[in-house]
Each structure stands twice: as C-alpha cells, then as structure tokens.
C-alpha cells in the first residue's frame, strides 16, 4: 500500500527548520498480514504542528504508538534530535508527552491525585501548579471528586491538564477531541497554539478541523487527500 502521492501534504510551505526534532525514516509496519504503511518518512520540527489523517484502521494509532516506543513491530528508523530513539530512550521519553485513547486516569483517584502521580513520573510539580492546571481545563471544584464520578469528557480534561504541567517538547495526542465539548475543543486548540508558539511540536490524530492560528501540516496515511 504505497501512497501514490507524497504523504506530506502541507497546508502552507513548511518553515525552514534547522534540524527536525523528530524524524521518521522509511517506516514499515504490517499488522495481521496487512501492510499499514511502507516507506513512510516525515519529520516534525520545533514549532510544528502535524495532524495525522487517515480512515479508520489506517494505522494512525499504531503510528503514534510506534513513535512513542509502545509498539516495536516495525522496520525503519525514528530519530530524535538526530539520534535513534532506541539509543537514547530516557532522553526521548523526558521530552515526550503521550495521551492515548485510554487517557491514563485512574477512576478511583481524584483528578488532583492522578495529576500528582503523572507529574511525578516525569517532572514533579507543586500542588499549586496542579490546581491551576485543573482550573484552566475547567475542573475547578472537581479536584477532589473521584474520577469515576466524572463524565468521559471531564476525564479527558484531567488528562489534558497534564499538558499544562509537563515541560515536554513533543506532544503526541491520539484523538484528543473525541469526548470534549465545544469549550473543551477551543481550550485544547488554545493549548496547542501556545505550545507551538513556545517552540514545542505536536503530532495529533483527529478528523476535526483544527482551528489554530499556526500552520498545520497534514500527514495522510491513506495517501489520498480527504475533504475536511
């Protein structure tokens, strides 16, 4: 399933990046005897937002999990700041923030307790930052409610609060908009824009048309441009 066209279909001409942060070279992945992608190459630079598109089952989630290192059934090279990620896993993980389909929020704990643990796995932050982050994602007054009593959208917001307390350069977000309401969508778009503005980069899968002031590059795994 070689894409006919170049998989990189930028909205606007990419800015001149000195060295891309993340570089994926001739990636090949096969699942259940079906080739998901072959010879897939792209790079994400500092201040770049990339939207991964593709029909259901085209391998968007697999691609993101491969980049994070959660899935190792692939061939090809993934470079972080010019070095293979497999040679510098800890450095790469320290710069990475991943939010998957399963948002990583324990249902018994409260949003505050969840964030405290998430932060401690990467960079510990004080409770004030956590309270601020929760307020910013609209969970003020819900800080100490067990997450099982919150809605799916609110749980997604708990995971998005992680974006605010993490110093990670690269955000990898898998369908982060699915359960959010319109205000949540707008808030996340603002967060993304801020992150890009600060020189961060992001890789996002969504079918939603991103309404952000910065340029959005598109990576289409189907090889055919889809109407948005």
Partner 1 sequence: MSAGTVPEVSTWGAFVATLRRDLLVAFKRRNDLLNPIMFFLIVVTLFPLGVSPDPLELAGISAGVVWVSALLASMLSLDNLYRADYEDGSLEQLLLSPQPLFFLVLAKNIAHWLISGLPVVVLSPLLAYMLYLPEGAYWTLVLTLLIGTPVLSLFGSIGVALTVGLGSRGLILAVIVLPLTMPVLIIGAKAVTDVMFGLPVGSHFALLGAMLAVALSIAPLASAAALRISVN
Q: Which of 29, 44, 53, 105 binds partner 1 (CB under 8 A)?
A: 105
168 versus 220: smaller Cβ distance to partner 1: 168
Q: What number of helices (H) and strands (E) belong to the chain?
A: 6, 9
Q: Which of 31, 34, 107, 140 binds partner 1 (CB under 8 A)?
A: 107
Q: Are 25 and 70 in contact (CB under 8 A)?
A: no
Task: In angstroms, give the least distance from the CB of 228 to partner 1.
Answer: 28
Distance, in Å, from the CA atom of 213 to the CA atom of 9, rounded to the nearest integer, reads 18
Count residues near partner 1 (CB under 8 A).
40
Q: Which two tokens stand for residue 42?
A: 């792209």
Q: Which of 11, 32, 60 shows the shortest CA–CA distance to 222?
A: 60
120 versus 178: smaller Cβ distance to partner 1: 120
Contacts of residues 10-13 at CB distance under 8 Å and 24 or more positions apart, as own/partner, are 10/215, 10/217, 10/218, 11/215, 11/216, 11/217, 11/218, 12/215
* Beta strands at 83-84 and 75-80: parallel, antiparallel or unpaired: antiparallel
Residue 69 binding partner 1, by CB under 8 A: yes
55 versus 73: smaller Cβ distance to partner 1: 73
Helices 152-165 and 127-136, axial angle in degrees (round to 10): 130
Partners of 31 in beta bridges: 34
55 versus 120: smaller Cβ distance to partner 1: 120
Touching partner 1, residues 7-26 (CB under 8 A)? none
Would you tell me how many other CB atoms lie within 10 Å of the CB of residue 128? 8
Q: Which helix (H) or strand (E) holds 42?
A: strand 34-44
Q: Are 223 and 35 in contact (CB under 8 A)?
A: no
Which range binds partner 1 by CB under 8 A, 18-26, 35-43, 93-101, 211-219? 93-101
Touching partner 1, residues 113-132 (CB under 8 A)? 113, 116-118, 120-124
Using CB under 8 A as the criterion, what x/- string covers residues 130-169 for binding partner 1? ----------------x-----------------x--x-x
Task: In angstroms, give the least distance from the CB of 194 to partner 1.
Answer: 7
Q: List residues near partner 1 by CB under 8 A.
A: 68-73, 90-91, 93-94, 96, 98, 100-109, 113, 116-118, 120-124, 146, 164, 167, 169, 194-195, 198-200
């Amino acid at each position: 399933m070689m894409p006919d066209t170049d998989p990189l279909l930028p909205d606007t001409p990419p800015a001149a990046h000195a060295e891309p942060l993340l570089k994926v070279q001739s990636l090949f992945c096969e699942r259940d005897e079906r080739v998901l992608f072959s010879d897939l190459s792209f790079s994400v630079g500092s201040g770049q937002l990339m939207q991964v598109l593709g029909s259901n089952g085209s391998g968007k989630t697999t691609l993101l999990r491969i980049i994070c290192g959660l899935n190792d059934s692939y061939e090809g090279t993934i470079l972080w700041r010019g070095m293979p990620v497999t040679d510098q896993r800890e450095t790469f993980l320290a710069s990475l923030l991943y939010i998957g389909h399963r948002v990583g929020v324990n249902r018994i704990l409260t949003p505050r307790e969840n964030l405290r643990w998430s932060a401690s796995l990467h960079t510990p932050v004080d409770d004030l930052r956590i309270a601020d982050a929760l307020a910013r994602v609209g969970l003020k007054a819900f800080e100490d409610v067990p997450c099982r009593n919150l809605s799916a959208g609110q749980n997604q917001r708990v995971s998005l609060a992680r974006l605010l307390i993490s110093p990670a350069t690269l955000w990898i977000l898998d369908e982060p908009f699915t359960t959010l309401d319109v205000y949540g969508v707008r808030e996340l778009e603002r967060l993304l824009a801020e992150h890009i503005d600060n020189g961060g980069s992001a890789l996002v899968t969504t079918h939603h048309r991103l309404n952000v002031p910065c340029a959005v590059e598109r990576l289409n795994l189907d090889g055919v441009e889809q109407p948005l």
